[in-house]
């Protein structure tokens, strides 16, 4: 059987993006994802909100609404209208263990392997924004991703350009990987 390199790359990209290996970034990333998916800001992600978010990201093709509903509902605590953050974290952990054998956890890894894992996570995140693969994030690419995520910042190019300018150290109008990495590492995780 011949392999389609493009499809193989897509599957690889999705799986390694899902597996968040750096514990210091896990909580922040999961909270950001939770906040993005919780469209009405009520502190719960309903099945509909999750389905819409997955659809916007193009991840709905392999999962029926009934499968999604039964999976998600098994994590919703009685009396809640959807997943709260703890439920969402539990669902993520279970999916990580099911698909990757829990390899996303680095509690027992060395500092060198943890740093390499964080670097790999950042490279995968960068690729999400660098849609054309040229090694830079342009304002148009950032805007496209922000729009896919349903974020209001994506509707105004002027705001997007300001976001780029705020991290563009060499003032070339784009964000390279090192600028992206510096920006991501300066994000403070709330305690």
Low-confidence ranges of the chain (pLDDT < 70): 1-26, 58-63, 98-114, 186-191
pTM of the full structure: 0.48
Reduce the DSSP state of residue 40 to 3 states and report it. coil
Give me the pLDDT at residue 98, please.
67
The region, left, alpha or beta by phi > 0 then psi within -120 to 50, assigned to residue 45 is beta
Give me the pLDDT at residue 175, please.
92
What are the residue ranges of helices labelled H in 45-167?
Answer: 47-56, 65-73, 85-100, 111-129, 139-148, 157-167
Fold of 130-185: Recoverin; domain 1 (1.10.238)
Q: Do domains 23-98 and 130-185 have the same CATH topology?
A: yes
Question: Could you tell me the residue ranges of all domains in the chain?
Answer: 23-98, 130-185
What does CATH list as the number for 23-98?
1.10.238.10
Count of beta carbons in the 10 Å neighbourhood of residue 30: 16
């Amino acid at each position: 059987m011949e392999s389609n390199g493009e499809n193989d790359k897509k599957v690889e990209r999705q799986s390694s993006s899902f597996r968040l290996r750096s514990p210091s970034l896990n909580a922040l990333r999961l909270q950001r994802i939770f906040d993005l998916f919780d469209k009405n800001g009520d502190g719960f992600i309903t099945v509909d909100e999750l389905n819409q978010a997955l659809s916007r990201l193009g991840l709905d093709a392999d999962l029926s609404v009934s499968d999604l509903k039964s999976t998600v509902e098994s994590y919703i605590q009685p009396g809640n209208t959807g997943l709260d953050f703890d439920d969402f974290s539990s669902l993520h952990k279970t999916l990580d263990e099911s698909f990757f054998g829990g390899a996303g956890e680095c509690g027992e890894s060395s500092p060198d392997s943890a740093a390499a894992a964080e670097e790999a996570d950042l490279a995968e995140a960068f690729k999400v924004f660098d849609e054309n693969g040229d090694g830079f994030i342009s304002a148009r690419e950032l805007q496209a991703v922000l729009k896919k995520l349903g974020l209001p910042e994506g509707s105004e190019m002027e705001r997007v350009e300001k976001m780029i300018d705020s991290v563009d150290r060499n003032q070339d109008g784009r964000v390279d990987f090192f600028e992206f990495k510096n920006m991501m590492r300066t994000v403070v995780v709330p305690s």
